[in-house]
C-alpha cells in the first residue's frame, strides 16, 4: 500500500493548487482525479466560457467597426464551430499545463474514483483496476454539478447544462436560460450577441441577486437593451415537447406565461459532489449537499478536510485555490498560515457589460451595523472609457463612516473584472478612504474611476 502525507481527491483549481503547495512544503503528495485534470473550471467552466465570450466580444466590436473608422467589405459573420473549436483548444492547452505542473512538483497523479475507508485508507477504482492507498491527511476537492429542477432535468439535447451550452452543434434560434446568476447571465449574454433570441428567467427579485442592488438593476437594463427578455420572480412550472423544442410554462407576478424555446440552459445553482465518497465511513457531516468545515477546511473527521465548491459558497475557483493553500499551510504547521476570509473573495461576471465586486454590499454593510459612506462614479466621465467607446456603467464604493475602512466595492462596465483586484488588495491591506484618495492613479486609465468613486463620497470628484 502506497502511503502519502497528503492525498487530495479532485484535481480542480482547489485540488491541484493544494497539491502543488503541499509538494513545495516537502510533503509526499498524491492527487486523485476520475475525469480531466483541472476540473470543471478549466475544462468545462471558467476558461472555455471566457474564450467563447471573447469571440462574442470581437463580433460585437466588428459590428461597431464603422464608428471607429474601420471599413469592412461585408457585415461580420459568426462561425460558431470555429469559436467552439478555439474554446476547446484553449482548455486542452491548460489541461496539459496542469499535468506538467504536477509532474514538475513531483505530485503523484492517480486516476479513478476514490472512496474513503476510514482511518486514512482510500480505495481507488479506475481502468487499471482497484488500488488502496493511505494518507495522514486527506483533502476532499470534488467540486459540484448543476442543480436539476423538477420537470427540468438536463437531457443533453433540449435541456442543456453549461457543458452542452459550450459545445452546441448549432446556434438555437430561441433560447431560454433558467437562472440569472453568473453562469446564466454569461450564457445569455453570449448567445444573444451571436444571434439567438434569449429569454432569461430568474426566481429571485433581481438578476445576479448576490450583487449590489444598483449593479443588478443597471445590468438588467443593459441586457434588455441588447434584446434579452429578462424576467424576475419567474418560477418555471412545466414543459411540453414540440417539434422544434419546448414550450415552457412559468409564473411571474401571480400570472402564468408560456414561451417557446428550441433549447434551454439550466443554470439554477449547484449541488456538491458528495455521493460515493465513503463519507458514511467517517464523521464527516453534509448539509444541503455540502460538506461542513471549520475556517481551516477541517471536517469533523480527524485528518479529513474539504475545500472548494463541495465545501460551500462562494462557489468560485479562486476561492477554492486559496482555501487549498490555507489548508495545506495549516497542515504543515506554518506560523503565518492564514484562513480565508469569504468577504475578501472577489466575484466576477463576464457578461457585457462586465460585473465585479468584493466585500459587503451597501445593504449588507448596513445590516452589519455599519454607518456607511458611499461613493459613485460613472464611466461616462472617464476619458479612457470614452476612447474605448464603452462608457456605460459605474463604480460604487462602500466605506465605514467612522473608521474609513473600505467595506465593499461594486463595479459594472468595461474590464471591471480586471479592476476589482485593486480593491481586493485594498481590503487585504485594510485600506482606508484617505489612502485611496492620496494614491496617484495613472491617466488615462479605467482605474481612475476607482479613485473618483472614493473622491465622490466626499464631494471631491474631479470629473463629474
Distance (Å, rounded) from C-alpha 358 to C-alpha 419? 11
Helix, strand, or coil here: 128? coil
Distance (Å, rounded) from C-alpha 47 to C-alpha 41? 7
Asked if residues 42 and 166 have their Cβ atoms less than 8 Å apart, the reply is: no
Helix, strand, or coil here: 385? helix
Distance (Å, rounded) from C-alpha 203 to C-alpha 463? 39
Asked if residues 268 and 178 have their Cβ atoms less than 8 Å apart, the reply is: yes
Tell me 107's DSSP state: P
Q: Active-site residue numbers?
A: 443
Distance (Å, rounded) from C-alpha 7 to C-alpha 24? 15
Question: 278 to each of 131, 169, 197, 431, how far by Cα in Å?
Answer: 15, 38, 45, 45
Asked if residues 84 and 48 have their Cβ atoms less than 8 Å apart, the reply is: no
Burial class (CB in 10 A: 0-12, 13-18, 19+), 135: buried
**CA end-to-end distance (rounded Å), the chain:** 69
Distance (Å, rounded) from C-alpha 28 to C-alpha 328? 12
Instruction: Report the number of secondary-structure helices (H) and strands (E) in the chain.
Output: 13, 24
Burial class (CB in 10 A: 0-12, 13-18, 19+), 46: buried
In Å, the largest CA–CA distance within the chain is 69
Asked if residues 443 and 383 have their Cβ atoms less than 8 Å apart, the reply is: yes
Paired residues of 347 in beta bridges = 357
Asked if residues 114 and 32 have their Cβ atoms less than 8 Å apart, the reply is: yes
Amino acid at each position: 500500500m502506497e502511503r502519502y502525507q497528503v492525498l487530495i481527491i479532485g484535481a480542480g483549481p482547489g485540488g491541484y493548487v493544494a497539491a502543488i503547495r503541499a509538494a513545495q512544503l516537502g510533503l509526499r503528495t498524491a492527487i486523485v482525479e476520475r475525469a480531466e485534470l483541472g476540473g470543471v473550471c478549466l475544462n468545462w467552466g471558467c476558461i472555455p466560457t471566457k474564450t467563447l465570450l471573447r469571440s462574442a466580444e470581437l463580433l460585437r466590436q466588428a459590428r461597431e467597426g464603422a464608428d471607429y473608422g474601420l471599413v469592412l467589405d461585408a457585415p461580420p459573420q459568426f462561425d460558431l464551430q470555429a469559436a467552439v473549436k478555439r474554446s476547446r483548444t484553449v482548455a486542452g492547452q491548460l489541461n496539459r499545463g496542469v499535468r506538467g505542473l504536477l509532474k514538475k512538483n513531483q505530485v503523484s497523479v492517480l486516476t479513478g474514483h476514490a472512496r474513503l475507508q476510514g482511518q486514512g485508507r482510500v480505495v481507488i477504482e479506475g481502468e487499471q483496476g482497484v488500488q488502496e492507498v493511505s494518507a495522514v491527511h486527506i483533502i476532499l476537492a470534488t467540486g459540484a454539478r448543476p442543480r436539476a429542477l423538477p420537470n427540468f432535468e438536463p437531457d443533453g439535447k433540449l435541456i442543456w447544462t453549461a457543458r452542452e451550452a459550450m459545445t452546441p452543434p448549432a446556434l438555437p434560434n430561441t433560447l431560454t436560460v433558467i437562472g440569472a446568476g453568473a453562469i446564466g447571465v454569461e450564457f445569455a449574454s453570449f448567445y444573444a450577441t451571436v444571434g439567438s433570441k434569449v429569454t432569461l428567467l430568474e426566481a429571485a427579485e433581481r438578476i445576479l441577486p448576490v450583487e449590489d442592488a444598483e449593479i443588478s438593476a443597471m445590468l438588467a437594463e443593459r441586457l434588455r437593451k441588447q434584446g434579452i427578455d429578462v424576467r424576475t420572480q419567474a418560477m418555471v412550472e412545466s414543459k411540453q415537447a414540440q417539434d422544434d423544442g419546448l414550450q415552457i410554462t412559468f409564473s411571474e407576478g401571480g400570472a402564468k406565461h408560456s414561451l417557446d424555446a428550441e433549447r434551454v440552459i439550466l443554470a439554477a445553482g449547484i449541488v456538491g459532489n458528495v455521493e460515493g465518497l465513503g463519507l458514511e465511513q467517517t464523521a464527516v457531516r453534509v448539509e444541503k449537499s455540502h460538506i461542513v468545515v471549520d475556517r481551516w477546511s477541517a471536517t469533523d473527521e480527524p485528518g479529513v478536510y474539504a475545500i472548494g465548491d463541495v465545501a460551500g459558497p462562494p462557489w468560485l475557483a479562486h476561492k477554492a485555490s486559496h482555501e487549498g493553500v490555507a489548508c495545506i499551510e495549516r497542515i504543515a504547521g506554518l506560523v503565518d498560515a492564514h484562513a480565508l476570509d469569504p468577504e475578501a473573495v472577489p466575484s466576477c461576471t463576464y457578461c457585457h457589460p462586465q460585473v465585479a465586486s468584493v466585500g459587503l454590499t451597501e445593504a449588507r454593510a448596513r445590516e452589519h451595523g455599519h454607518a456607511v459612506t458611499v461613493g459613485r462614479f460613472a464611466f461616462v466621465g472617464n476619458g479612457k472609457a470614452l476612447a474605448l467607446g464603452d462608457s456605460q456603467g459605474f463604480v460604487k464604493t462602500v466605506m465605514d463612516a467612522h473608521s474609513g475602512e473600505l467595506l465593499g466595492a461594486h463595479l459594472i462596465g468595461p474590464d471591471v473584472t480586471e479592476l476589482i483586484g485593486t480593491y481586493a488588495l485594498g481590503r487585504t491591506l485594510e485600506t482606508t478612504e484617505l489612502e485611496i484618495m492620496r494614491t496617484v492613479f495613472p491617466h488615462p486609465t479605467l482605474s481612475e474611476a476607482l479613485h473618483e468613486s472614493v473622491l465622490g463620497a466626499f464631494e471631491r470628484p474631479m470629473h463629474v
